Amino acid sequence: MNISKKITVEIFYSHNKNHLWKQVLLLPNNTNISEALLMSDFNIYFPNINPIENGISIFGKIQSKDYILENNDRIDICRPLIFDPHLLRSKIRKFKK
């Protein structure tokens, strides 16, 4: 009997401050982030968002699409920045002067 090891991962995406999308997936061992996203329903709910371009993190640490997932990993799909934090800090410094 050939039993393949499976891993469980969660995918999270917050497309605004009031709504969180979450999906739990049971995946084959050695699945990378890109493959997990293809196996998820993310593109059904968010067809105009490219999660690879926006950035992906595992427990808050940015990872590449080729990162091999481990059991109980949490995939967070980042949102695009609304503003540049460096630019905002610069404007605040100028305002305080």
Tell me the per-residue pLDDT of 34-77, one tens digit each, with 9 for 90 and over.
999 999 999 999 999 899 888 999 998 999 999 999 999 999 99
CB 33 within 8 A of CB 75: yes
Q: What is the pTM of this model?
A: 0.76
Tokens at 51, concatenated: 């999660």
Give the domains, in start order, of the chain with CATH numbers.
6-96 (3.10.20.30)
3-state secondary structure 6-26: EEEEEEEEEEECCEEEEEEEE
Lowest mean pLDDT segment, chosen from 2-6, 31-35, 69-73:
2-6
Confidence class of residue 94 from pLDDT cuts 50, 70 and 90? confident
Q: Measured on CA atoms in the order 29, 33, 34, 38, is the torsion positive or negative?
A: positive
Higher-confidence residue of 15 and 9: namely 9
Higher-confidence residue of 15 and 74: namely 74
Average pLDDT, the chain: 88
